[in-house]
Amino acid sequence: MDWPTATPDLAPPLPEPDPLAALTPSLDYLSLPSTWELFCGCDTGTYMSAVIVAVPPDPPYALYCLAEFPNYHYVGTEIELLGLSMHEWASGVTQLWSRLTPRSCAAWADPNSQFKAEFAHLDIRLQPNKRGLDVRTEVLREYRQAGRLWLAPWLSVLPYELERARWPDQESAAGNFRRLKTQDHTLDCLEHCASRRPRGRQLREEAPLTLLDKLLAKHGIKPGQRRARRPDPHLGLYA
Amino acid sequence: MTNAERHTLVAQFRRAVYDRFGFTPFPHQAEWQLAGDGWTLTDLPAVPGKPAVTVQLDDRSTVRRLVIPRAAGPASVLADLAGYKGGKSYGIGAHSAGYAVLPDARVEFIGLEYGTSEPEFTYLVEFLCSDKGMGMKYSSYQNDKRGGRMRLKLTTGASYEVRSWTQKESLKGSRIDAYYYTEAYQLPGLECYTSIKQNLRQRNGKAVFGTTPDRPWVAILHDMGHGRDPLWHCTCNIHSRCNPYTYDAADEQRDDPARGGLMTRERYAIAWEGKLGSYVGSVFDYQRGQCLFTPASHPDLFDWGKLVRDGLADRDPRPGATAARA
């Protein structure tokens, strides 16, 4: 047998940058039709995440996941915090949200979230989603099985969690058979959005501007922007 | 002795063991073993004057195949994900025999329990100490899986030991040439590697995972070995029929769900086809790369003027569109 001998174990060179990788468009190139509605889902706690989805106005009302905002990442299979402050994390969400829509940011979240007041300071209004985990999972599964779920190519954490979502080996002592609640913070956000069965708005006439809107428009302020809170100088983060 | 010299010596001695024992590896065994030596097995027939290896096909015939240098050099972490009875344990036992040539070699087999590594350890002893094999002398040989004493210390100085992950604290703090993870899917996750890989650093050692892909965490070996890190190598999707000595077509038919067999499709894919168990218990039946919206699939969602301007596209493909690169 002519088995080759080992080559010297020099440190292998780093792989060349893939020229095709640059061809993947980013969120900057997105151009959504104005009739599409945007929704946000949020999961609060030590590990936080948010997902922004867009929904067209026509059936079958597919979900298009545009962006994810986890404050963590996965190293191998381990979850690790990125070390973002809550303000840094929230400003990423609100900046993109205000870029996409003039509406203020309202996010579906667990009804028992303890971060409602804190997030209100950060211009994110948490809306309690009372759909249970079973329902949320089943609705999202329905979207997935019907081919009504689309993910942006720049997402990384959400596809990972979607792929790794698992059923338990057997039902719980209470007779529940819910998916395992591990490594699913961003997935939770998407489930919150999907469970509301969102729809885009139909084309309709623009609502007439109020007197306040007209006054603000004179100063170059759009209707949605006036809701933005002034920064809190006590935190020292807005200098 | 430099690490490069050590590795060359190990590879040459391994070849001598295979020659003496008359062992011709299956293609998947040869593939990951060659990756560890800095080579890539091809499907092409051997060319005179070029490196080649002889592999044994599923009809027991042998064929010589061309090997080419591995672009990223020798791989340090090797994974062999094959179906049941595909020859994973035998491949590990054979591969580990090469270290017997080093006077200070330390090789450890890690399984969930001591008994998990018994086949690999037995094959190793057969390769090194049997009359059919190298007939090497040992100064100490214990094979007591109940008592947790499974060691082989050769008179050359090389030592092999079976370790149990349940006693993982004792794995810390030594210089190791190679870790062989047996039935790795039973271990809790990649921490079985990341928590002790520092022991491999000094001797630029290898970590070898031979397992059926029964648990989702094994997918990380697959992810890393297929492009994420050039130092990792993954051999996967190996059907059980690759091993003609244990394959039983009638038994496969009894399990094949397409023929009304006993197994679920997922279980069959893992047990017989050696496929990655990423769909086992999956909630959304989703695999990364699916259901993406891109400029090609959803052109109306992207700003083509900007894409063309930034050189990411030549022109707007939509009918009637005018944006095109100047």
Tens-digit pLDDT profile for residues B142-165: 988 888 889 999 999 999 999 998
Question: How far is residue B57 from each of residues B15, B29, B48, measured CA to CA in Å?
Answer: 19, 11, 21
Per cent of chain B over pLDDT 90 is: 36
The DSSP letter of residue B205 is -
Of B10, B7, B70, whose CA–CA distance to B38 is shortest? B70
Phi, psi of B282 (to 5 degrees): -70, 140
For each of the domains in chain B, give its residue range(s) and CATH number, in order of start.
3-24+34-39+72-240 (3.40.50.300)
Nearest to B53 among A2, A25, A64 (CB): A2
CB contact under 8 A, B72 and A15: yes
At B49 the pLDDT is 82
A106 falls within a domain: yes
Chain B: give the shortest CA distance to residue A219, in Å: 29
Dist. CA B11–CA B99, nearest whole Å: 8
Question: Chain B within 8 Å of A16 (Cβ-Cβ)?
Answer: no
Of A25-34, A145-154, A184-193, B289-298, give the range with the top mean pLDDT. A184-193
Kindly tell me if the per-residue pLDDT of B298 is higher than 90. no
Kindly tell me if the per-residue pLDDT of A222 is higher than 70. no
User: How high does pLDDT run on average in chain A?
Assistant: 82
Dist. CA B185–CA B82, nearest whole Å: 12
Substitution target in B229, B294, B301, B303 with the highest count of A β-carbons within 10 Å is: B301
The DSSP result for A116-146, as a single string, is: HHHHHHTTEEEEE----HHHHHHHHHHHHHT
Q: Minimal Cα distance from A15: which residue of B?
A: B230
**Greater confidence, A47 or B315?**
A47
CB contact under 8 A, B292 and A8: no
A219 falls within a domain: no
Substitution target in A2, A3, A65 with the highest count of B β-carbons within 10 Å is: A3
Kindly tell me if the per-residue pLDDT of B286 is higher than 90. no
Instruction: Pull the structure tokens for residue A27.
Output: 């969120």
CB contact under 8 A, A64 and B301: yes
Nearest to B283 among A10, A13, A167 (CB): A167
At A11 the pLDDT is 42
Question: Chain B within 8 Å of A149 (Cβ-Cβ)?
Answer: yes
- Number of neighbours of residue A177 by Cβ within 10 angstroms: 10
Task: Give mean pLDDT, residues B217-228.
Answer: 81
Kindly tell me if the per-residue pLDDT of B268 is higher than 90. no
CATH code for the domain in which residue A169 is found: 3.30.420.280
At A18 the pLDDT is 41
**Greater confidence, A225 or B275?**
B275
Per cent of chain A over pLDDT 90 is: 45
Question: Chain B within 8 Å of A19 (Cβ-Cβ)?
Answer: no
A160 falls within a domain: yes
Contact list, A57 vs chain B (CB under 8 Å): none
Chain A: give the shortest CA distance to residue B260, in Å: 24
Chain A: give the shortest CA distance to residue B286, in Å: 5
Q: Minimal Cα distance from A66: which residue of B?
A: B293
Question: How far is residue A83 from each of residues A7, A47, A49, A93, A95, measured CA to CA in Å?
Answer: 42, 10, 13, 16, 19
Q: How many domains does chain A have?
A: 1
Contact list, B11 vs chain A (CB under 8 Å): 3-6
If you count them, how many residues does chain B have?
Answer: 326
Kindly tell me if the per-residue pLDDT of B242 is higher than 80. yes
Kindly tell me if the per-residue pLDDT of A236 is higher than 70. no
At B30 the pLDDT is 93
Beta bridge partners of A106: A125
- A62 pLDDT band, cuts 50/70/90, is very high
Q: Are the beta carbons of A238 and A231 closer than 8 angstroms?
A: yes
- A22 pLDDT band, cuts 50/70/90, is very low
At A207 the pLDDT is 66
At A8 the pLDDT is 46
Of A117, A106, A123, A114, whose CA–CA distance to A193 is shortest? A106
Dist. CA B221–CA B36, nearest whole Å: 15
A80 falls within a domain: yes
CB contact under 8 A, A144 and B285: yes
β-strands B52-56, B62-69 pairing: antiparallel
Beta bridge partners of A43: A49
- A229 pLDDT band, cuts 50/70/90, is low
A90 falls within a domain: yes
Dist. CA A13–CA A78, nearest whole Å: 27
Nearest to B189 among A12, A77, A147 (CB): A77
Dist. CA A236–CA A238, nearest whole Å: 6
A200 falls within a domain: yes
Of B103, B135, B137, B72, whose CA–CA distance to B5 is shortest? B103
Residue with the two structure tokens 């090389």: B158
Dist. CA A46–CA A50, nearest whole Å: 13
Q: Minimal Cα distance from A64: which residue of B?
A: B293
At A35 the pLDDT is 87
- A239 pLDDT band, cuts 50/70/90, is very low
- Supply the range of the domain harboring residue A119: 32-205
A133 falls within a domain: yes
Q: What is the largest CA-CA distance in chain A?
A: 90
Task: Give mean pLDDT, residues B92-102.
Answer: 93
CB contact under 8 A, A150 and B298: yes
Substitution target in B14, B101, B283, B309 with the highest count of A β-carbons within 10 Å is: B283
Q: Are the beta carbons of B158 and B107 closer than 8 angstroms?
A: yes
Kindly tell me if the per-residue pLDDT of A9 is higher than 50. no
β-strands A37-43, A149-151 pairing: unpaired
Q: Minimal Cα distance from A157: which residue of B?
A: B288
Per cent of chain A over pLDDT 70 is: 79
3-state secondary structure B112-155: CCHHHHHHHHHHHHHHHHCCCCCCCCEEEEEEECCCCEEEEEEC
Dist. CA B273–CA B294, nearest whole Å: 33
A224 falls within a domain: no
A-B C-beta contacts closer than 8 Å: 153
Dist. CA B27–CA B94, nearest whole Å: 14
Q: Minimal Cα distance from B307: which residue of A?
A: A29
